[in-house]
């Protein structure tokens, strides 16, 4: 087609790649936050980036100059003009973040500190939710999405949040369920009629949504295998007996490690906490029972941070030296001060990585790109032996 013929058909039969070039240039300006006077790349560079011919890119630039989006001056080149009023408004989406212990103030600042009221001596510490959120933010901060943060620390909090979530106009939601399975039916309902969901850390087997969780079974198995390799045969498991997938998978990992080593599973040394009037945990009676048996335990595999700390408190009350008289291992995600001796074996979850993966899965769901089948991602945990011999 001749240049003259092409000129005649310019307004009535614009080629699709030409329109795409214009749209891409407008998006480039917005994404790089360019303002009036900022210089654009050369036609050659733009053509190479877009995989189009220079004449096509030149036409796209020329039309944007005519519309006032761009401006040109001899010896200066092409730069951004006073296009603000003409620039198409870019839709800002909304992602819901629902995690225990998170709080967001009026300025948008998010904090995530746990009040460890399950322990006899309460103290504040940074929760796992906040560390997962850091991974989420590393992915979402470069996207046109704003965040709406909700806390679901208590079951009642979670009920209210889940019931209101479909009415918030969200593009998607990333949720870490609270430590109870009572609201599983609400998640199933939300999966059918709500925005796209990705669950983190905990999940519900019958809920057909994407999930990103720690490989709890393997982490627990490796920890107990490590104890067995150190010569321990009487290994207790201190847990809370909640019907959460993380707790169940960790107990299964404990049992698998024992079975592989030919050690019989003994439910007498699988113990839960005693609860005080203030609902504080104590493993004093459990540990005393396990140590006073004819074949006393020499090691304990603990469910989580609170279980580890409560077990250490119980050992201290009983005068049992850790690790001299008793070896303690467990999932533990609290930060350890630099230089502090750690008298127990830790299994540490990949919390930030879980957040990154979950955010990427959710963005794919929001874009409509992924397959319809729910995706289940297991993130490895890291075994960190005791710093005290």
CATH superfamily of 93-214+351-381: Response regulator (3.40.50.2300)
Residue 58: burial class (beta carbons within 10 Å; 0-12, 13-18, 19+): middle
Rounded distance, CA 41 to CA 13, Å?
27
Higher per-residue pLDDT: 57 or 37: 57
Rounded distance, CA 323 to CA 338, Å?
20
Q: Give the pLDDT of residue 121.
A: 54
Torsion of CA 286, 291, 292, 297, to 10 degrees: 110
Q: Is the pLDDT of residue 111 over 70?
A: no
Rounded distance, CA 7 to CA 3, Å?
6
- Shared fold status for 3-80 and 216-348: no
User: In the structure, what pLDDT confidence band is assigned to residue 13 with cuts at 50, 70 and 90?
Assistant: very low
CA angle 72, 74, 79 (to 5 degrees): 30
CATH number given to 216-348: 3.40.50.2300
- The pTM score is 0.72
SS3 (DSSP) at 128: helix
* Among the listed residues 356, 368, 357, the one whose alpha carbon sits nearest the alpha carbon of residue 93: 368
Summarize the confidence of residues 198-225 as an average pLDDT: 95
Beta bridge partners of 213: 378
Question: What is the residue-averaged pLDDT of the chain?
Answer: 84
Higher per-residue pLDDT: 181 or 117: 181
Q: Report domain extents, the chain.
A: 3-80, 93-214+351-381, 216-348
User: In the structure, what pLDDT confidence band is assigned to residue 386 with cuts at 50, 70 and 90?
Assistant: confident
Higher per-residue pLDDT: 293 or 104: 293
CA 303 from centre of chain: 20
CATH fold of 3-80, please? Arc Repressor Mutant, subunit A (1.10.10)
Higher per-residue pLDDT: 68 or 203: 203
- Beta-carbon contacts of 250 under 8 Å, excluding residues fewer than 6 positions away, are 216, 217, 219, 220, 239, 303, 331
Instruction: Report yes or no: 56 and 16 within 8 Å, Cβ to Cβ.
Output: no
- Pairing of β 235-238 and β 210-214: unpaired
């Amino acid at each position: 087609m001749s240049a003259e013929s092409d000129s005649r058909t310019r307004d009535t039969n614009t080629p699709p790649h030409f329109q795409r070039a214009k749209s891409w240039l407008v998006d480039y300006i917005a994404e790089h936050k360019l303002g009036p006077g900022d210089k654009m790349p050369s036609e050659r560079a733009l053509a190479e980036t877009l995989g189009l011919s220079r004449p096509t890119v030149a036409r796209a630039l020329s039309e944007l100059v005519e519309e006032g989006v761009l401006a040109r001056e001899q010896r200066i080149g092409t730069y951004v003009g006073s296009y603000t009023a003409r620039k198409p408004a870019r839709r800002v989406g909304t992602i819901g973040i629902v995690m225990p212990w998170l709080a967001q103030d009026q300025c948008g600042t998010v904090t995530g500190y746990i009040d460890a009221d399950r322990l006899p001596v309460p103290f504040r510490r940074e929760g796992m939710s906040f560390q997962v959120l850091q991974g989420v933010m590393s992915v979402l901060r470069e996207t046109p999405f704003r965040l709406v943060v909700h806390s679901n620390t208590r079951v009642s909090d979670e009920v209210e949040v889940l019931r209101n979530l479909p009415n918030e106009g969200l593009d998607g939601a990333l949720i870490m369920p609270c430590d109870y399975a009572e609201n599983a039916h609400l998640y199933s309902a939300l999966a059918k009629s709500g925005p796209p969901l990705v669950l983190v850390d905990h999940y519900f087997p019958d809920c057909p949504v994407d999930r990103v969780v720690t490989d709890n079974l393997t982490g627990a198995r490796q920890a107990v295998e490590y104890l067995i390799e150190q010569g321990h045969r009487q290994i207790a498991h201190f847990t809370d007996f909640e019907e959460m997938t993380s707790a169940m998978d960790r107990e299964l990992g404990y049992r698998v490690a024992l079975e592989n080593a030919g050690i019989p599973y003994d439910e007498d040394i699988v113990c839960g906490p005693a609860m005080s009037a203030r609902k504080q945990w104590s493993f004093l009676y459990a540990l005393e029972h396990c140590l006073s048996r004819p074949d006393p335990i020499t090691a304990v595999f603990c469910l989580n941070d609170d279980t580890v700390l409560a077990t250490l408190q119980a050992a201290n009350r009983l005068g049992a030296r850790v690790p001299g008289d008793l070896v303690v291992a467990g999932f533990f995600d609290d930060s350890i001060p630099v230089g502090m001796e750690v008298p127990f074996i830790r299994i540490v979850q990949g919390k930030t990585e879980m957040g990154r993966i979950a955010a990427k899965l959710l963005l794919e769901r929001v874009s409509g790109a992924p397959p319809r089948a729910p995706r289940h991602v297991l993130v490895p945990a890291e075994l960190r032996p005791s710093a005290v011999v």
